Structure 1
């Protein structure tokens, strides 16, 4: 135990605080976890949110939307004293609930009499699908979209359901007709509105995105009387020109002075930003417009003012390659494209854009001054050219801590960016940080990475001038056999060709001379390696043969998907100022080492080891109720400063096992041990229990039989046979930890017990099935001795490895003994809830035991009985698996003293 434990205690520059691509939200408002999506409205639960505003420590949230996200709660929530609700970025969090970073409790509600009502109404205090909100700290304005009006409170509300003071777009609080007063709902005027979805207040002016009329209206003073006319119109030549209601007939006419369904208007005090949804762009005026139809100066999302294509990749993105006809191919999107953008907001230095159709927020670190500018950072996606949130292949990302689905609005408080996420019923809070974690910076500490592998096996015979061609992806390697070559030399030459120079871009080649094979390991970790194609051919009439393990490499998995209770490694830079390990035997583990704390969903994690580049910690068992959590590192420096990293998302699944292994290139050598100093064997008891059946185990010539009784189970049959076998002079028996198996061991230790014959059978027609795994006890070694090339494993031997990430265990007594950070004190005989299987050398290895280890934190012991027909191979590949999740591939040396003769 001391040897493998050392692996948990040893290890792998950014500028000022800023955002980083793919980072997760640090906080979430409106749900008890990032993924909960509770639809029941209250002062802490949000529905399909849209408009946001922040001013003077107060957050305003429109709990309604027009994009089909449910529920639509027809209300505006106000969070006064927000800083008292949200922990500061560098705060030390207290574990007082399941998710301390899931926070926020509204103090006031508008549009409803209380926090539980959700009916729309038309009145002085009613709302119907409010989709935008704005405040300058004195005045509040709400775009009451489906009532075709904007409501204004001339002072900030102080009571629930407080009535508005002024209405814009209607003559009174009881009217809601589109373009009211013009005599034709299709014809606008200076006083009218049609489905407004954007509102802003800046320096005493009111700005409204009059979405249904394809225009933006500006009041040079905050209206103080109902139905007050606007002073300036943008997007139309005058106040009387309106939109084509039939979109099929609407002319597509993008210009610097036209708009199509603008959904937001904002300003940083100098510039004006309009999100022009229908034309898939954001327009920038370098100064606040002062005349009707004033043209914009800069466009984002399009190469020029006359383009309107959603994700205009051919004009804005770099090509990714060529198609079969030699034409350029492009990504589906890039950092310069937009698809139905919903909101644009600037802090005066940066520009934030909610790119709704691409399920992301783009961040421009400087205000664009040229058309078609590329963003510097993307939130909601891990890169600028993909959308995983709307892809069914990425189910774990749909409501993950780093994903967004049609972000609708933004707000900024100086260090936190608030993003409304309607389909996930939440407001995400992204925070700048000095240090950035990689987006997959939290990974199973045992697996680290799970690389795809394959092999090329040579056979036949070696003849001069035969030529072998190996193809890896699109690259070929040819070798012509020369005089005096043998299999070892051919393997060596081919391996050298593949690894020459910087090496093949896709794989690393490793020779395995014992099997006349070349092992190919993907250079890229994870599931992407499973797409690397491999093949081999030989010249005509050649006598040498080369066989690929498959058409593609296989076995690549994602070590960043984590089961509750897993020991993980967090990799990054400047995580700590010095290294420190948990004290030996610490129980519970400390939650701070070297001034470092790690938070998962705001829960402080138990720590085993901390260094500047790696932290080993345990993911809390408490997060088993979710599919995604966030993680960040808090560091208290020697000079008294406190800093944090950006948060990243950690996908949570039931199980994802990893086997501890020595350092080195993958597949790494397993930290594997010989399981017994006694020769051993196994009998499996399967089938069903039927009264009258007779089950028999024979040791040499001594039979031990049990007649099945009414009410027996496979377990009781097994236990009865164990009691009988334990009368044997040479062998004793006990139950295996997994399945209904009988373990047999020689009474005397050492090789003298090897070779004791045993067998098993059932009476004719019996429903119970008795299966001996080997013909004789074998493979006595020194229990707990490392499996090494000098002391290799034998076919049929039982070895054990240590693993993490196997998830919850049973029975109930064992599950209740699981405590985050504490050494396991439950029963030694336990098993993971998710079944564990294993392959060694391509053959099934019987899992005799998979159990949480008493006295350890998050570590499982897995006992494996190797197949008795394994060939000699110093690099026998070994994996364990649960459900569809396969561990990292590790190797063990195996020597067969009686190899089969081909």
Structure 2
């Protein structure tokens, strides 16, 4: 069959009509926006994590490769100048039939946080940074909302402390060089008391005007005979040494009413027994007590030992499991050596250490870790040049008493306290208190400060705001310092921890003024007869009033 020219033309036209037309390429649109705030460096942006664009000046910007219509886009900051923070607004979306020019990239100076830590807080604390006020209600870390640029100065203040506390701030001002994390706030209990303030509660007597041993009767759960030594409040229980009854009484907290009865007794089988003994479950003239919150220590004075209970006793018959100063729990020999004691009057547990006022050996012994065996040897001695020297005021270590005391000697110390950094020792027979600004690390290390005397070589007694007469025990919040001035029948209070010799006390309990030393005989609510111990358990100040056979409880306002 033959096809003419016209047929061929018609066929070609039909074939061409049946072929699909080539589609037009999809439209593409640019993605960009405006950069502002950039200063002193280069900024790199990314589009969908692939395209990069670097700019060093503010103004409009657009990525080089456009995106197809309908495609998603995401603009992010890949890198910014070291001291700037850059953010993207409107940086995500879908290309919709036109160029995207609405992305806003804003840069500003990099800012840093300001914060730190709080310890000891009991209540609510308010801190300030500029106009910001920050409420802190728990110990641990805190951070202000306000941020500051590098080079800015900052000053943080304590606006209000909790009731019954004073909070102090360290590292509170400086210049920002990065995140500030070293602010340190330490909150300490604060006692607001009045000179000659009356006690609110009496333990061991029916009222404030009675003072006979065991209430002129036999021993009981509510009586005392010569209480002596720092009491302890731990685990919700109050422990009191009843020295002449050779027992420790345990109460369920600090009593709120007169003539309270103890819940249990240590050192005796019952509340009516008062016999001294040297066995594991016995005591002979217990004095100072101490606790680290989980364990109890008892300075068992006439047994020449310190007893260590592995847990806080809660019932009659509890016994210790370790002893210092003796090879076993049933011996009581006295001696002068690294593992010996002679008439210890006080003990302190805390900050990983055990301290003992070894009164009869004229020294303080230090264990830098908690002992794990009987008669564990001490690691440090103060008041003597070596563990084999035990004479009073013996600066040379020759075994004889010097004519005068020194900054490194002791004579019958009876009280000891530390906050882990500072150390305080009541040097009783020298009528002074020695203070170390940093915890000693060498045997016989000299003290830095003396109270009760004008200098380290004096040992006069007196009745003024800056003198003492045979002081006994000591306690401190870390800010306020309390000393039982035994023979002046008073407790002296320094409202700032002393840092210079002979600083005068600022408040006195037990007397109407600093020049009175009247013994409370007959007893009353505001006087003492040889106070011999102090417990600070806010809001209570608990003082054994030894010769009145009672313990007085004062309450902070």
Do they fold alike, i.e. is TM over 0.5?
A: yes
Classify 1:32/1:157 alpha carbon distance in 2 versus 1 (closer, same or farther; 3 Å): same
User: Counterpart in 1 of 2:223?
Assistant: 45
Matched-pair contact (CA < 8 Å) for 1:53–1:410: no
Match 2:296 to one of 131, 134, 140: 140
Deviation at 1:259, TM superposition (A): 0.4
Query: Which whole-Å CA distance do the structure 2 matches of 1:264 and 1:388 have between them?
Result: 23
Query: Which whole-Å CA distance do the structure 1 matches of 2:393 and 2:278 have between them?
Result: 24
**More strand, by proportion:** 2
Classify 1:269/1:105 alpha carbon distance in 2 versus 1 (closer, same or farther; 3 Å): farther
Match 1:78 to one of 232, 235, 250: 250
Say whether residues 1:22 and 2:196 are aligned partners: yes
Say whether residues 1:173 and 2:329 are aligned partners: yes
Matched-pair contact (CA < 8 Å) for 2:246–2:284: yes
Matched-pair contact (CA < 8 Å) for 1:34–1:400: yes
User: Counterpart in 2 of 1:590?
Assistant: none
Query: Which whole-Å CA distance do the structure 1 matches of 2:393 and 2:281 have between them?
Result: 29
Match 2:234 to one of 55, 67, 71: 55
User: SS at the partner of 2:245?
Assistant: coil
Match 2:349 to one of 201, 213, 217: 201
Classify 1:25/1:147 alpha carbon distance in 2 versus 1 (closer, same or farther; 3 Å): same
User: Counterpart in 2 of 1:349?
Assistant: 479
Matched-pair contact (CA < 8 Å) for 2:491–2:508: yes
Matched-pair contact (CA < 8 Å) for 2:543–2:551: yes
Matched-pair contact (CA < 8 Å) for 2:276–2:284: yes
Deviation at 1:202, TM superposition (A): 1.2
Match 2:496 to one of 366, 370, 373: 366
Q: How many residues align?
A: 359
Matched-pair contact (CA < 8 Å) for 1:212–1:243: no
1:461-515 deviations in Å (ceiling 9; x for gaps): xxxxxxxxxxxxxxxxxxxxxxxxxxxxxxxxxxxxxxxxxxxxxxxxxxxxxxx
- Measured on the aligned residues, the alpha-carbon RMSD in Å equals 1.9
1:741-756 → structure 2 map (5 Å cutoff):
none
Matched-pair contact (CA < 8 Å) for 2:392–2:411: no
1:861-900 deviations in Å (ceiling 9; x for gaps): xxxxxxxxxxxxxxxxxxxxxxxxxxxxxxxxxxxxxxxx
Query: Which whole-Å CA distance do the structure 2 matches of 1:302 and 1:356 have between them?
Result: 16
Matched-pair contact (CA < 8 Å) for 2:393–2:405: no
User: Counterpart in 2 of 1:857?
Assistant: none
Match 2:555 to one of 431, 434, 439: 431
User: Counterpart in 2 of 1:800?
Assistant: none
User: Counterpart in 2 of 1:120?
Assistant: 276
- Provide TM-score, normalisation by structure 1: 0.39
Matched-pair contact (CA < 8 Å) for 1:411–1:417: yes
Matched-pair contact (CA < 8 Å) for 1:359–1:387: yes
User: Counterpart in 1 of 2:38?
Assistant: none
Deviation at 1:107, TM superposition (A): 1.5
Matched-pair contact (CA < 8 Å) for 2:233–2:253: no
Query: Which whole-Å CA distance do the structure 1 matches of 2:495 and 2:316 have between them?
Result: 39
Matched-pair contact (CA < 8 Å) for 1:29–1:104: yes
User: Counterpart in 2 of 1:712?
Assistant: none
Deviation at 1:212, TM superposition (A): 0.6
User: Counterpart in 2 of 1:879?
Assistant: none
User: Counterpart in 1 of 2:80?
Assistant: none
Matched-pair contact (CA < 8 Å) for 1:132–1:142: yes
Say whether residues 1:236 and 2:384 are aligned partners: yes
Matched-pair contact (CA < 8 Å) for 2:240–2:249: yes
- Which entry has the higher C-alpha Rg, 1 or 2? 2
Query: Which whole-Å CA distance do the structure 1 matches of 2:543 and 2:390 have between them?
Result: 31
1:199-278 → structure 2 map (5 Å cutoff):
199-243=347-391, 250-278=401-429
Deviation at 1:57, TM superposition (A): 2.7
Give ranges in structure 2 of 5+ residues lacking alignment: 1-165, 167-189, 395-399
1:839-879 deviations in Å (ceiling 9; x for gaps): xxxxxxxxxxxxxxxxxxxxxxxxxxxxxxxxxxxxxxxxx
Matched-pair contact (CA < 8 Å) for 2:404–2:457: yes
Query: Which whole-Å CA distance do the structure 2 matches of 1:60 and 1:17 have between them?
Result: 21
1:56-105 deviations in Å (ceiling 9; x for gaps): 432211101xxxxxxx10001111333xx42xxxxxxxxxxxxxx41432
Query: Which whole-Å CA distance do the structure 2 matches of 1:108 and 1:340 have between them?
Result: 33
User: Counterpart in 2 of 1:659?
Assistant: none
Matched-pair contact (CA < 8 Å) for 1:55–1:413: no
Query: Which whole-Å CA distance do the structure 2 matches of 1:17 and 1:347 have between them?
Result: 9
1:630-686 deviations in Å (ceiling 9; x for gaps): xxxxxxxxxxxxxxxxxxxxxxxxxxxxxxxxxxxxxxxxxxxxxxxxxxxxxxxxx
- Provide TM-score, normalisation by structure 2: 0.62
User: SS at the partner of 2:429?
Assistant: helix
User: Counterpart in 1 of 2:450?
Assistant: 299
User: Counterpart in 2 of 1:486?
Assistant: none
1:511-660 → structure 2 map (5 Å cutoff):
none
Match 2:286 to one of 130, 133, 147: 130
User: SS at the partner of 2:487?
Assistant: helix
Query: Which whole-Å CA distance do the structure 1 matches of 2:470 and 2:350 have between them?
Result: 25
Match 1:158 to one of 297, 314, 319: 314
Say whether residues 1:409 and 2:409 are aligned partners: no
Classify 1:252/1:428 alpha carbon distance in 2 versus 1 (closer, same or farther; 3 Å): farther
Give ranges in structure 1 of 5+ residues lacking alignment: 1-14, 65-71, 87-100, 180-187, 312-332, 434-902
Classify 1:81/1:388 alpha carbon distance in 2 versus 1 (closer, same or farther; 3 Å): closer
Matched-pair contact (CA < 8 Å) for 2:361–2:412: yes
Matched-pair contact (CA < 8 Å) for 1:63–1:74: yes
User: SS at the partner of 1:221?
Assistant: coil
Classify 1:20/1:245 alpha carbon distance in 2 versus 1 (closer, same or farther; 3 Å): closer
Classify 1:252/1:417 alpha carbon distance in 2 versus 1 (closer, same or farther; 3 Å): farther
Match 1:282 to one of 433, 447, 460: 433
Match 2:208 to one of 34, 39, 55: 34
Match 2:523 to one of 381, 394, 399: 399
1:359-508 → structure 2 map (5 Å cutoff):
359-389=489-519, 398-433=522-557
Deviation at 1:158, TM superposition (A): 2.9
1:791-849 deviations in Å (ceiling 9; x for gaps): xxxxxxxxxxxxxxxxxxxxxxxxxxxxxxxxxxxxxxxxxxxxxxxxxxxxxxxxxxx
